[in-house]
A and B are shown apart, each in its own frame.
Chain A
């Protein structure tokens, strides 16, 4: 019936701001879904494309004996097995020194596993045996190009090689040094691919043998992983890293998981809010149109047509919001994918048209609009025409508010404040929707703000309570008492300590875990331990608490540690666990490590731990010192191989804080829009329903200011009622959200500042104040003379 369409169009036009608020909320919800889900699908395809093209290893085994490659090749599902060597040694590029990793590659032809994607220059050639291919992040940071030179610390002397090319590696799409050092500050860690000649010059203690394996496309990944791990363990492997655990891939997958979670959580919040807002406004439309509905029915319009008519409001809103949201979302997803792959240097940017995104997006929007319209539509179609035509509306029940019943003295309040209190319970569904709007908005804000707080606080904790050193100093001479004293005597250095850092494989009841073993002096001041004693135990080790879940260890258990670079193994006890935000390391007292190594099958000679490829010096600087000058002075020492600014990550993060808070700001705006939509619609409906009362009060001498304060008071009270549950729900969701990111690489336990809770609550109150403004304007322009003569609807 075309006149009903005209009626609908005009109804929507008359309440355009309320319908617009619903439309915007649905659009935002669907847009967030489409953007994050499309970005998730695109990025997953982009990673897969790169991994497939470059033959990214399905598993990497470190430290297994010579029998392993053949054994691995015979495992069902294994397609390709290759061996290579890697070495962690300092690099020097110009005046800068950094942690370096050499990855051995066959000259003249790319390996079958972990191929590299040349971005400039040429691949390694046998006629340039000391040539290096710089990994893209390293090349970019130091602006390396073919012809430049990189020096490598081989034992105690620097060897130099020319850069023959630059390349992207699937192993270093994110340049993580290890699962323990996932965020190396730019310029402090780099990877170079070299032929075996350059590796041959590196001391054996710095070199690790690796077997890299690719599976057949149809392999049963879980079963093959298990079989490879069994074979690797039998061959004495120090570490087995599956593709899922490979540091770069694991980190990127966590990011992808974030997109996937965002694609569910954030849209769900918006669409729930949109559903409530639709429900409120349509309930009001139906309620105020009772006489019209009655007349239409009396004139022969069927209940079915009435149902269709009012359902179409929700359907149209949902469809319009969903279409707009899908279009904007897919464009945004397209842009995010490009920005993301550009920023991370992922060579393959796959941006496909995923039909599931628009289909699900449209279904979401339409379902929300339609479901929210169901109840009001049902009410419309069930009206008794005779009753509805009389235009009489059921008289509302009145009763003291819950607060008055619980606290009777409240009844002594001035009546205008009683009116505010009782206004809250006057239409419970509507009030609940305002409260829900606040809860949803706070959830959105706290989930994102909590994430930033957590990261800020965990870095604060990491750099102010745990990793207390200012610099890691690598020497070219044995790290003995004199060498450490020499570093300590440099002006600006307050303290210097030798620290052992070794790759380690820990074996517990549930398997093995590759980590880093660090050994400190008993009275160390360069590392804080959050054990009950506050320091390292005399015997045994303390470990990152992820080892409990990773390999099933508990305090008092025996753990077998094998040190592949020393070719040594020993068993010791777990004396305790530490809760460290970054990485899962194993710590022991240096003297305890020396004692343990002296009891191994082949006892290591005294002084082994002083080898500069095993020990480094960690230095703490004086307060308020010029850090750069001290770093330069240390670097200029003849025996210094490398100095790494340990606080670089912290400072880098501090520099990016503005960016992170911009993200929080966007979420605040989104949350604000969501809360605004619901509060605005609720207030608009309240004011429309109470126009007669307000006009009568105005006619009886209530000033505009007082009336505005009553309306504002009621809505602030409703908002305040939503704040406490909102903070609780938001905190809980933020906790779960952060926990989903926790792994052995990072411990993300929610650490939200109380100020965040306060600011979020204040922000909601401000949104409530803002939402009241249009209603107050409506009341200010109320035509008192005519409204007082109307029957309230």
Chain B
């Protein structure tokens, strides 16, 4: 069985000459299926760059990324779009919901891209993230936590094997943040879905199955956590 993600000697360089920045320097990691992994590191450590490589939002300068048995380097733009559509669910710090669409419609917009049964799945997913009675609200009528739930539902509705979350609690208060982490923890429990959370908040690491620490574009450590804490127990 393939791991959810495997990177090998991944290198990413931006710019040239004096302005060259080496964001990733030979990063090799592996995230097995069904795990919740946390990518930790200070600002500028390369964690978002790594997330972008795994999410096929950027191409590496050298090295490879394998996900779902695919070598992402071999994909053209169309292939990368299809990969993101079917294999990846994104959650961003700033939700980026379409303000003119309701919660249901924001999720259905993506569900429709996958197949025609999107609407039924949309309602189920929104119910699962606790928004059964808020589906027809527009983003402007939802709290930040609720908007992030819609954003998670938007990622989940495609039923992707991998959820990539970039600072998902960065804009939320503690209570909402905990709720979101609980939700992300929970989504790894159905089947073998993996979740990769990028954060600079070390506390989050306690709830992870696997913690990868990055610094200056290099993996400093990669360890598993035999008894991950419940998000509620985290000391914020």
Contacts and interface: CB of A to CB of B under 8 A. Distances in A.
A416 B92 contact: no
Contacts of B98: 419, 693
Contacts of A701: 81-82, 84-86, 88, 110, 113-114, 158
Nearest to A790: B94
Contacts of A395: 99, 139-140
A792 B96 contact: yes
A65 B52 CA distance: 102
B140 A397 contact: yes
A156 interface: no
Nearest to A706: B113
Interface in A411-452: 414-416, 418-419, 422-423, 425-426
A702 B110 CA distance: 8
Interface stretch (A168-176, A536-544, A781-789): A781-789
B100 A703 contact: no
A789 B92 contact: yes
Interface in B57-104: 57-58, 77-78, 81-82, 84-86, 88-90, 92-94, 96-102
Contacts of A415: 101, 105, 108-109, 112
A396 B147 CA distance: 13
B100 to A, nearest CB: 4
A415 B102 CA distance: 10
Nearest to A394: B140
Contacts of B52: 785
Interface residues of A, number: 34
A307 interface: no
Contacts of B158: 700-701
Interface in B104-144: 105, 108-110, 112-114, 138-141
Contacts of A791: 94
Nearest to B164: A699
B140 A396 contact: yes
B41 interface: no
B84 A398 contact: no
A700 B101 contact: no
A418 to B, nearest CB: 6
Nearest to B170: A789
Contacts of A418: 101, 105
B155 interface: yes
A718 to B, nearest CB: 14
A392 to B, nearest CB: 10
A701 B52 CA distance: 14
B166 interface: yes
A703 B138 CA distance: 25
A398 B140 contact: yes
A304 interface: no
Interface string A378-413: 000000000000000001111100000000000000
Contacts of A161: none
B34 interface: no
B55 interface: yes
Contacts of A702: 81, 85, 110, 113
B25 interface: no
A422 B139 CA distance: 14
A649 interface: no
Nearest to B116: A414
Q: Which of A415, A425, A790 has the most chain B CB atoms inside 10 A of its CB?
A: A415
Contacts of A693: 96-98
B45 interface: no
A786 to B, nearest CB: 9
Nearest to B49: A785
Contacts of A698: 81, 84
B46 to A, nearest CB: 13
Contacts of A423: 100
In the A-B complex, list the 3 residue pairs whose CB atoms are closest, starting with the nearest.
A701-B85, A398-B138, A422-B100
Interface of B: 48, 52, 55, 57-58, 77-78, 81-82, 84-86, 88-90, 92-94, 96-102, 105, 108-110, 112-114, 138-141, 154-155, 158, 166
Interface of A: 395-399, 414-416, 418-419, 422-423, 425-426, 692-693, 695-704, 706, 784-785, 788-792
